[in-house]
Structure 1
Amino acid sequence: MINRTVLVGRLTRDPDLRYTASGAAVATFTVAVNRQFTNASGEREADFISCVIWRKAAENFANFTHKGSLIGVDGRIQTRSYDNQQGTRVYVTEVVVENFSLLESKSQSSQQQDNANNQSSAPQSSSSSSSNNNANPFGGASSNNNSNTTQTNDSAAVDPFANNGQQIDISDDDLPF
């Protein structure tokens, strides 16, 4: 039998770290995972998946992540049930995380948290929110179309493979095969 789950998404809230009566650390959190397709109105929906992580990994996870962190988790799906205080049977399906990865740098993560804090404390104008859409997800400074054209022209001067009008003379002795 195979029961493997791999998720990549953002935390919807800070992890909730607690300790059992025997002293084992356990953290619960929810990961928002975007769907690959859009709905009828053209909007992308997300699934919110409950996860649990145990022991030292739970402590590390709680220490290094926060609301909005981009993470990858690997684990298994588990179902359980219990009776709540009203006597009703409650069924829970969750991912028991065995491994996790932080998928953005600490600076990107703190910038994401700062942006989330700013959005929740004060409404933003459309000009400031449109500047966030151009953020580079791989780090470094983001650029608009005008500076992008300048970078292309500058990079041609240092790019040895750029077509600058010179012919490349390669003999058979230069080839490794």
Structure 2
Amino acid sequence: MNECTYLGRICTDLVLNKKAMDDKENYWTRFRLAVARKRVKKEGEKDTDFFNCVAFGSAAKGICTYAKKGGRICVCGENRENNFEKDGMKYYTVELFIKDYHVIDFKEKKQASGDVTEEAPFPPE
């Protein structure tokens, strides 16, 4: 079973992207999530792990509308491996494909906007 739940802070700007496919508008967003580890170092600080996350459809729209950079969010989904070639080298990445989410720190009402950017859903190879 591949099911992951992370509670952390969004550490990148949220951008809602749109791409038309088969006469339908498809929405998606990508962001990095900072998740503190339980163990505290001698200095009193916690180590942090950073996870790549991607959401599609209504999840992407909801996250971009209500969440904010630096805000806490709980995301649930499955980790998926992707790979691509660049300059003759093969690279592997892992992303959390979000199935469900719960925003903890909401945007202020004046910040909540539905700005949409039209881009390709994946970087060119």
Aligned partner of 1:45 in structure 2 is 47
Task: Name segments (4+ residues, structure 1) moved above 2 Å.
Answer: 39-42
Aligned partner of 2:19 in structure 1 is 20
Q: Higher strand share goes to which structure?
A: 2
Tell me: higher relative CO, structure 1 or 2? Use CA pairs within 8 A at least 6 residues apart: 2
Aligned partner of 1:96 in structure 2 is 97
> Which consecutive residues of structure 2, in runs of 5 or more, have no partner in the other structure?
112-125
Larger radius of gyration: 1
Alpha-carbon distance between aligned partners in 1 of 2:57 and 2:98, rounded to the nearest angstrom: 11
How high is the TM-score relative to the length of structure 2?
0.75
Aligned partner of 2:123 in structure 1 is none
Alpha-carbon distance between aligned partners in 2 of 1:70 and 1:42, rounded to the nearest angstrom: 21
Q: How many residues align?
A: 106
Deviation, 1:20, is 3.4
Q: Higher helix share goes to which structure?
A: 1
Read off the aligned partner of 1:11 and give its amino acid letter. Answer: I
Q: Is the 8 A contact 1:8 1:72 kept in 2?
A: yes
Identity of aligned residues (%): 25
How high is the TM-score relative to the length of structure 1?
0.55
> Which consecutive residues of structure 1, in runs of 5 or more, have no partner in the other structure?
114-177
SS of the residue corresponding to residue 81 of structure 2 reads: strand
